[in-house]
Structure 1
Amino acid sequence: MLPLIRNICVKIIVWVILDASPINTEFNLIVPSHTVIGLAGHDVILPCVLSSHASAVSMSVRWFRHGEFLDYLYLYESKKISARKGSEHRVSLLTQQLERGNVSLLLKDLRMADAGRYLCHVSEQEEAREEPIDLEIIQHGSVPRISLVRHHKSSVQFSCRSHSWYPQPHMIWIDHRGQELMSATIERTSSSKPELLHSVTSTVNVEGGQWEEIFCVVTSQDREYKLESTIQIAEEYYKESAFERAYVSVFAISIFLGLTSIAASLLHVRRAKTEKEEDLEKQKRAQTEKEEDLEKQKRDDVMLDADTAHGRLKLSEDKKSVSFGELDRQKTQTDKRFIHKTCVLGEAGYDSGRHYWEFNLSNKTQWSIGIIQEPTKEQRKAKNEQTYPENGCWSICFDKELKTVEKNPKIFPSVLKPDKLGVFLDYDKRTIAFFNVEKKYYIHCVTANFKGKLFPLIGPLKGCEKSLKISSVKRGPHKTENDTVSSTAD
């Protein structure tokens, strides 16, 4: 109660002085009429400028939250600065702009609790001006994560969840044509914490053969910020359950029929089963043709290029495996070597044809694997340039979650994490594909307008304590475990 009384008394004294003194209208304060929007974790400027653009160097500038005049956030007075305890490194004036009458406040590392009304108070001798500014904080949430909820007969149900948003986001499912899936159901929840962050979850049922690929898209409330994840649905999801449903259905009917009806039903089952078997046989033949087609492609015995390996990467004598270790300062510096990125390339580059190679990634805790357009000397030495598609690199990685390597990565369901990863390049069709060899699922496929030679890429690696091995391809990608050489488990 006492701080409130003191605050009111101070304000009364200020305004009594102003009321008793002749008002000098040499300056007013200009602030935005609209609410200032800031993004959590980023910086924002609360604009406040003297209308006359006169110098504010000799003035007193006070920034405070509504109702907290004495407990100011920032005070510039007699060319001295003071700030609220705990906020010293988060608030400041644009001091070089004071001579131009700019007394705006820079607020750094925004938090949800920073939202609210602020007041810009400027005084000189007996004259003072004060204007309010409202600040709203928005927070962009997590990349949506898709998970398999259940596999029921001829359909599968997927769930998508994203959390830590403010204000409440929008979520939709779309197919590969960009059409919204209207069958989705959405559930929104708000946190009980003071920040009132929002989560959104949506589920969708997918009928057999209806879509090959679907996307879960979450956007900010103004639709200006978007994150998405995708899942590619293999035909194998439905085959068993569809046949099982047909068989159970006929069996249930037969219980209520006489011996004659039972015979007829069995005949019907036999015909249905024959038709089903023929259909499955056609699908098997199509799959076999795909496998034979892959077997006809050029076999690639990929070797790693020691001249490109970062100083912390150790290659085996046969150039088939790589591990992460201490920095080797004795390594000869070459124009081909990566200086800052812990990467290594394959020896051979490809500028035509179809190529395929595999990795055994069982129990690997972190990896990044892809294809890169032949990097320049500058790119190999660049410190901040990322291995993104716009820089001629197409990769997927695993580091707690499976995702693409790009600015806005696609997060894949954990069920797609491969023990064996296949990398397929069709240079002439400009296609790169990654797939789970054992489960026969395509994880990610991209069409890119690349040029020049493309090289196999491993990295950046963060800590492969044991070797990660690339193997020769003996067969097509859908073969048994004995067809590829395994690597040492991480």
Structure 2
Amino acid sequence: MHLWRYKLSLRGYRAMILQHMIFCLLLIHRGQPLIVVPLRAVMATVGEEVVLPCHIKPEMDANGMRLEWARPDLTPGFVYEWADQKEHVVNKQPSYRGRTSVVKEKLEHGDISLKISNVTISDEGIYRCLVPQVGQEAFIKLIVGAVSFPTVTVISKTSSRVVLQCESAGWYPEPELLWLDGEGNLLSAGPTETLRGPDDLYTVSSRVTVEKRHSNNITCRVQQRNTNQSRETHRHVPVPSWYLKLVLVPGLLAVLVSVLLTIHRWRLR
């Protein structure tokens, strides 16, 4: 299963996971130790810390073993090496220096999980967990996302309507932008403009024109379906005084007429 030298597509990754599951079942039947990783991809956010789980089953002390974490698509591909009870950095990929580690206290329990700090977009990919002494390797996919809260500003307004603009910068992968009214219904808005910066992060913006009405609470929502992340900002559009008069005055008149009729009937008794 020495596939780490080749760049793996998502389809290839799924096929490889299926092969690994079959291989693990055979090993379980033979009573041999396993390298176990989650079947699902691990999600991470830019700037945060993430752990890629990897364990030896049944539990055994990995402190004195050689451990290798690598990326199939990088040269050099090693992101972490452990041997002789210490880390080796000679063959380490430069972009990971100072950012990857294992928890030494957990090695004796067979926990060889990789911790990556200050996650970047370029960290996204497929990782190989290998223990040569056990004679096995396993692969795990890391998906990286970046999110930010949108800002809503007033571009122009008249006595009856207002034009709002929503903008949100620092997203990855590319998100979608939605406008919603106070009841959660989608509003018809202008096209979403998308820009991709030199840091590979996306900025999205859009404008919407809304009529000034009662309970006009407008929401701008930016969401990324692949990472199941969303952020939103609410903006209240004030009701114009003429609209209040239009709505309230007839109501007050109706109440006044009802009161007068009641008093008139009472006097006739």
| Partner residue, 1:119 | 128
1:96 alignment partner, SS class:
helix
Q: Distance in 2 between matches of 1:115 and 1:60?
A: 25
| Partner residue, 2:220 | 216
Question: Can you list the C-alpha shifts for 1:14-70, whole angstroms capped at 9, x where unaligned?
Answer: xxxxxxxxx997322111222111111111111111122121122100111115575
The answer to whether residue 202 in structure 2 is matched with residue 198 in structure 1 is: yes
Letter in 2 for 1:53: E
Letter in 2 for 1:189: T
The answer to whether residue 49 in structure 2 is matched with residue 43 in structure 1 is: yes
Pairing 1:254-293 to 2, within 5 Å after superposition: none
Match of 1:183 among 158, 171, 188: 188
The answer to whether residue 157 in structure 2 is matched with residue 151 in structure 1 is: yes
Deviation, 1:99, is 1.3
Letter in 1 for 2:106: Q
Match of 2:34 among 17, 25, 28: 28
Q: Distance in 2 between matches of 1:232 and 1:57?
A: 59
| Partner residue, 2:237 | 233
Deviation, 1:138, is 1.0
2:213 alignment partner, SS class:
coil
Deviation, 1:209, is 3.2
Pairing 1:380-395 to 2, within 5 Å after superposition: none
Question: Can you list the C-alpha shifts for 1:83-141, whole angstroms capped at 9, x where unaligned?
Answer: 335634311112111111111111111111111111111112xx522222111101112
CA contact (8 A) 1:175 1:211 kept: no
CA contact (8 A) 2:69 2:130 kept: yes
Deviation, 1:71, is 4.6
TM-score scaled by structure 2? Answer: 0.69
- List alignment gaps of at least 5 residues for structure 1: 1-6, 9-22, 243-277, 283-490
Match of 1:131 among 129, 134, 138: 138
Letter in 2 for 1:114: D
CA contact (8 A) 1:45 1:107 kept: yes
1:100 alignment partner, SS class:
coil
Q: Distance in 1 between matches of 2:119 and 2:234?
A: 31
Q: Distance in 1 between matches of 2:74 and 2:54?
A: 18
Letter in 2 for 1:27: P
CA contact (8 A) 2:66 2:131 kept: yes
Letter in 1 for 2:34: N
CA contact (8 A) 2:37 2:140 kept: yes
The answer to whether residue 88 in structure 2 is matched with residue 82 in structure 1 is: yes
Asked which structure has the greater RCO (Cα within 8 Å, sep 6+), the reply is: 2
CA contact (8 A) 1:167 1:221 kept: no
- State the Cα RMSD in Å: 3.2
Q: Distance in 2 between matches of 1:188 and 1:211?
A: 28
CA contact (8 A) 1:162 1:199 kept: yes
CA contact (8 A) 1:168 1:221 kept: no
Letter in 2 for 1:119: R
Question: Can you list the C-alpha shifts for 1:307-335, whole angstroms capped at 9, x where unaligned?
Answer: xxxxxxxxxxxxxxxxxxxxxxxxxxxxx
Change (3 A) 1:40 1:153: same
The size of the alignment, in residue pairs, is 217
1:97 alignment partner, SS class:
helix
Deviation, 1:145, is 1.2
- List alignment gaps of at least 5 residues for structure 2: 7-26, 250-269
Deviation, 1:220, is 3.6
Counting aligned pairs with the same residue, the percent is: 25
| Partner residue, 2:119 | 110
Question: Can you list the C-alpha shifts for 1:435-486, whole angstroms capped at 9, x where unaligned?
Answer: xxxxxxxxxxxxxxxxxxxxxxxxxxxxxxxxxxxxxxxxxxxxxxxxxxxx
1:131 alignment partner, SS class:
strand
| Partner residue, 1:94 | 103
Q: Distance in 2 between matches of 1:67 and 1:213?
A: 48
Q: Distance in 1 between matches of 2:76 and 2:135?
A: 16
Change (3 A) 1:29 1:139: same
Q: Distance in 1 between matches of 2:175 and 2:215?
A: 26
Q: Distance in 2 between matches of 1:37 and 1:91?
A: 16
Change (3 A) 1:71 1:170: closer
Letter in 2 for 1:113: S
2:108 alignment partner, SS class:
helix
| Partner residue, 1:385 | none
Question: Can you list the C-alpha shifts for 1:371-408, whole angstroms capped at 9, x where unaligned?
Answer: xxxxxxxxxxxxxxxxxxxxxxxxxxxxxxxxxxxxxx
